[in-house]
Amino acid sequence: MPIQYDETRRMFRLDTDHTSYVIAITEAGYAAHLYYGKRVSHFPDAKLLRQDEYPAPDVLPREKLTYLNALPFEYPTDGVGDFRPGALGVRNAKGQPGCELFYASHAVTEGKEGLPGLPASFPGEEQGVETLSLVLADPALCLTVTLLYSVFPKEDVITRSVMVRNDGKTPLVLEKVLSASLDMDDRNYEAISLDGNWARERHICRRPVGFGQTTVRSIRGESSHQENPFLALCTPDTNEEQGEVYGLLLMYSGNHIESAEKNQFGFMRLSSGIHPDGFSWNLGPGETFAAPEVICTYSGEGLGRMTRNYHDFIRGHVIRSPWKKKPRPVLINNWEATYFDFDGEKIYALAKEAKQFGIEMLVLDDGWFGHRNDDNSSLGDWKVNESKIGSLAELSQKIHGLGMKFGLWFEPEMISVDSDLYRAHPDWALQVEGRTPTLSRNQLVLDLSRKEVRDTVYGEIHAVLQNAGIDYIKWDMNRNLTNIGGIGTGREGQTELLHRYVLGVYEMQERLITDFPDLLLENCSGGGARFDAGMLYYSPQIWCSDDTDAIERLRIQEGTALVYPMSAMGAHVSKCPNEQIGRTTPFDTRANVALAGTFGYELNLADLPEEDRKKIPEQVERYHRYHALIADGDYYRLHTWTDAEPYDCWMNAAKDGSEALVTYVQVLGRPSTNSAKVFLRGLLPDARYEIQEECGTKAVQEYGSFQPLTEGWGDVLMNAGFPVPALGDFQSRLYALRKI
């Protein structure tokens, strides 16, 4: 039983296969956090609770109590003497702050429910998932707070979310509702986050957590290029295979905060949820607010285990699309091939050419609608530009006639000032009256908190899909939110607008995949600004980055795959010199790196040298051969490139150890060095493997004596290593291992 309650101790123990989480109800009725970490088979003693620095609530009567600054809380509140960051801030009908929560009741149920209007993980095929609903109440506010914990034993995951209900007769204001808070003693923890910018998203960043607050956040209205909604704490000895790691991943696509605060007692509080800046929620009598889910995992076996927990969990319990188990059609996208400069014939010619090489889908990117020939106009006018491309239905028919699928780009959340939609409804853009709105990429953001706006835009998209027979959509979102005011919203609703906007996006995507259940949806936001678990609930894949350079992609994809599965990472082979960085890399290396994600092309095939063109059918075939292994197998980071050792290496191993694929990329070549030795993982120690070079660029010097290994024992390859010859700049190798 994953969830147990010990009535005499008033303790809950939540067990996954390798972890335990313990909650204690103190005598005073507080829900206290007792333990999270490696699995224990006994209930701890209540004396483990830290109550010593201040007179403890259970020692003194409430009226004699000073501060609540020492007790580890399951869900800390603001305004009553806990000076660490609270998870919940409430004001009563008079505007006075403060909230104090006491145990009211609990229930343990099988399975897991969804959350109203929000993405939420689900049990799927897994047996033994259980949910604890821990109900806390503040009698002074007539407020009920239900803490939800769902236990997924196999993946060592506990998800958390919170429902806040106003049971009184007067309105309340929620100023902050975080989704999870985790109190623990500090052990010199280091923080790991995924940071970056446009075209270099989600680089792994590790730093010590000092006194005060270490935060990851976005106030951009989306999860952002800059700081992904993920934070892990690890002990300083942590590497891929050892060390203790706590990961929090927020399943939400708007403003967020993840923070670790170390206080004067060497105490650590970790929390995650919607960023309170610009947020407050009016909770009328009888109303409930649901906070998004946080996916928590603990690994006692380093970062590698954390990664594999998240991959298994997201694949099994977050991504719903029927596409998740299916190989994705290898696509050609016209964006970097043509930008806005195309017509129907050019697109058809690109499809026809692609078809010859075995490419399976054409994606028509930005510029097919309104009068959009650059990025100054037409967002919001989802009407086919027939003078540019002719009939979309006919183009779609012709492409289908080639035996290919047909995909289309939309940017549903945006409005151009030069658009019929804006001319008809200028008030539909987010704006603050009397203030000139901030443009970004010449566009404004639609107020998707309004139903009529969502209905109109969705209606137009629906009509295009239905008329033209579209198999795939790239749902783009190319700017951050500013001037977050709504013309159709009253005074009190303005602070709810940002969250309602995110709920609006979720509602539209839910409608889309319900109405078109076979549609392959790929989310995108100026590259990877909304690569988060919330979006993965709706789309099985997300465009990882606008940076398609194979070398830049190493860091981007490594960071992304720290948490998110490879099957979700949009990755394409593009032209050289690369559009974003000007670098020229071998065609094979570009394909080997893109193979780590959902494989495709984004270039004009006609411009490629003949020797590269010839390789495409083999690359497409390779994607199909290895898709299941890469998408469903276990991922291991074997080496991250540094100045001293400028190569990158990772592998994907089948869960049963029967096969594996090793990708090695030499970022810079070095003279006079030995061949690199990589230590493989995920193999069966006693199995013998045949090793085949799948795809390789030329070595700088294959030294006369270098003899590639063609067979080896699992334990030898993992412990003694596997040698790779010295390669030059940007060269790469793929090695396939198969159990003999």
Residue 517's alpha-carbon distances to 148, 392, 534, 681, in angstroms, are: 30, 21, 19, 38
The helix or strand, by DSSP H or E, that contains position 303, with its residue range, turns out to be helix 302-317
Residue of 78, 447, 476, 547 with catalytic role? 476
Q: Site for ligand GLA (CB under 6 A): how many residues? A: 11
Residue closer to ligand GLA (CB basis): 478 or 619? 478
Helix, coil or strand: residue 409:
strand
For residue 443, the minimal CB distance to ligand GLA (Å) is 10
The one among 89, 527, 540, 682 contacting ligand GLA by CB under 6 A: 527
Phi and psi of 576, rounded to 5°?
A: -130, 150
For residue 519, the minimal CB distance to ligand GLA (Å) is 18
For residue 526, the minimal CB distance to ligand GLA (Å) is 5
Residue closer to ligand GLA (CB basis): 291 or 337? 337
Helix, coil or strand: residue 368:
coil
**Residue type (1 letter), 145:** V
The one among 261, 293, 546, 558 contacting ligand GLA by CB under 6 A: 546
Rounded to whole angstroms, the Cα distance separating 492 from 489 reads 8
The one among 146, 166, 478, 598 contacting ligand GLA by CB under 6 A: 478
For residue 333, the minimal CB distance to ligand GLA (Å) is 7
Which span sits near ligand GLA by CB under 6 A: 380-388, 520-528, 642-650, 693-701?
A: 520-528
Rounded to whole angstroms, the Cα distance separating 305 from 284 reads 44
Residues 326-355 that bind ligand GLA (CB under 6 A): 335
CB 649 within 8 A of CB 663: yes
Largest CA distance in the chain: 85
For residue 424, the minimal CB distance to ligand GLA (Å) is 23
- Which residue number places its CB atom closest to ligand GLA? 366
CB 535 within 8 A of CB 542: yes
Which span sits near ligand GLA by CB under 6 A: 266-274, 321-329, 522-530, 583-591?
A: 522-530
For residue 522, the minimal CB distance to ligand GLA (Å) is 10
Rounded to whole angstroms, the Cα distance separating 580 from 593 reads 16
Residues 242-261 that bind ligand GLA (CB under 6 A): none
Residue closer to ligand GLA (CB basis): 232 or 481? 481
User: Does residue 222 bind ligand GLA (CB under 6 A)?
Assistant: no
Q: What tokens appear for 121 in the block?
A: 């993980």
Which span sits near ligand GLA by CB under 6 A: 26-34, 521-529, 555-563, 730-738?
A: 521-529
CB 32 within 8 A of CB 26: yes
Residue closer to ligand GLA (CB basis): 144 or 385? 385
Residues 202-221 that bind ligand GLA (CB under 6 A): none
Residue closer to ligand GLA (CB basis): 476 or 588? 476
Q: Answer positive or negative: Cα dihedral of 182, 1, 107, 34.
A: negative
Residue closer to ligand GLA (CB basis): 476 or 496? 476
The closest alpha carbon to 330, from 196, 520, 91, belongs to 520
Active-site residue, 381 included = no
Residue closer to ligand GLA (CB basis): 2 or 526? 526
CB 458 within 8 A of CB 450: no
The closest alpha carbon to 249, from 161, 134, 135, belongs to 161
Residue closer to ligand GLA (CB basis): 100 or 201? 201
Residue of 78, 365, 546, 634 with catalytic role? 546
User: Does residue 552 bind ligand GLA (CB under 6 A)?
Assistant: no
CB 245 within 8 A of CB 299: yes
- Exposure string of 149-179, with b = 16+ CB inside 10 Å and e = fewer, is bbbbbbbbbbbbbbbbbbebeeebbbbbbbb
The one among 138, 227, 293, 365 contacting ligand GLA by CB under 6 A: 365
Q: Residue 395: how many CA atoms within 13 Å on its side-chain side?
A: 26
DSSP state of 624: H
For residue 545, the minimal CB distance to ligand GLA (Å) is 8
The closest alpha carbon to 415, from 386, 387, 376, 359, belongs to 376
For residue 732, the minimal CB distance to ligand GLA (Å) is 24
CB 164 within 8 A of CB 143: yes
What burial class does residue 268 get, using C-beta atoms within 10 Å of its C-beta: 0-12 exposed, 13-18 middle, 19+ buried? buried
Please report how the helices 451-468 and 392-401 are oriented relative to each other, as an axis angle in degrees rounded to 10: 50
For residue 4, the minimal CB distance to ligand GLA (Å) is 48
Helix, coil or strand: residue 220:
coil
For residue 440, the minimal CB distance to ligand GLA (Å) is 12
User: Does residue 543 bind ligand GLA (CB under 6 A)?
Assistant: yes
CB 655 within 8 A of CB 634: yes
The one among 298, 323, 348, 409 contacting ligand GLA by CB under 6 A: 409
User: Does residue 526 bind ligand GLA (CB under 6 A)?
Assistant: yes
The closest alpha carbon to 354, from 536, 576, 572, 527, belongs to 572
Active-site residue, 374 included = no
Q: What tokens appear for 735 in the block?
A: 């090695």
For residue 524, the minimal CB distance to ligand GLA (Å) is 5
For residue 367, the minimal CB distance to ligand GLA (Å) is 8
Please report how the helices 392-401 and 344-356 are oriented relative to each other, as an axis angle in degrees rounded to 10: 10
User: Is residue 266 left, alpha or beta, with left meaning phi > 0 and alpha meaning psi from -120 to 50?
Assistant: left
Which span sits near ligand GLA by CB under 6 A: 89-97, 519-527, 592-600, 639-647?
A: 519-527
User: Does residue 382 bind ligand GLA (CB under 6 A)?
Assistant: no
For residue 527, the minimal CB distance to ligand GLA (Å) is 5
CB 90 within 8 A of CB 175: yes
The one among 381, 476, 532, 588 contacting ligand GLA by CB under 6 A: 476
The one among 74, 301, 366, 532 contacting ligand GLA by CB under 6 A: 366
Residue closer to ligand GLA (CB basis): 75 or 335? 335
DSSP state of 496: G
Residue 177's alpha-carbon distances to 161, 277, 636, in angstroms, are: 10, 11, 36
Residues 45-84 that bind ligand GLA (CB under 6 A): none
Hunting for tokens 């209540």 — which residue is that?
46
- DSSP-derived pairing of the beta strands 143-152 and 130-138: antiparallel
Q: What tokens appear for 480 in the block?
A: 């951050």
Taking residue 529's Cβ as centre, other Cβ atoms within 10 Å add up to: 29
Binding residues (CB under 6 A) for ligand GLA: these are 335, 365-366, 409, 476, 478, 524, 526-527, 543, 546
Give the residue numbers marked as catalytic.
476, 546
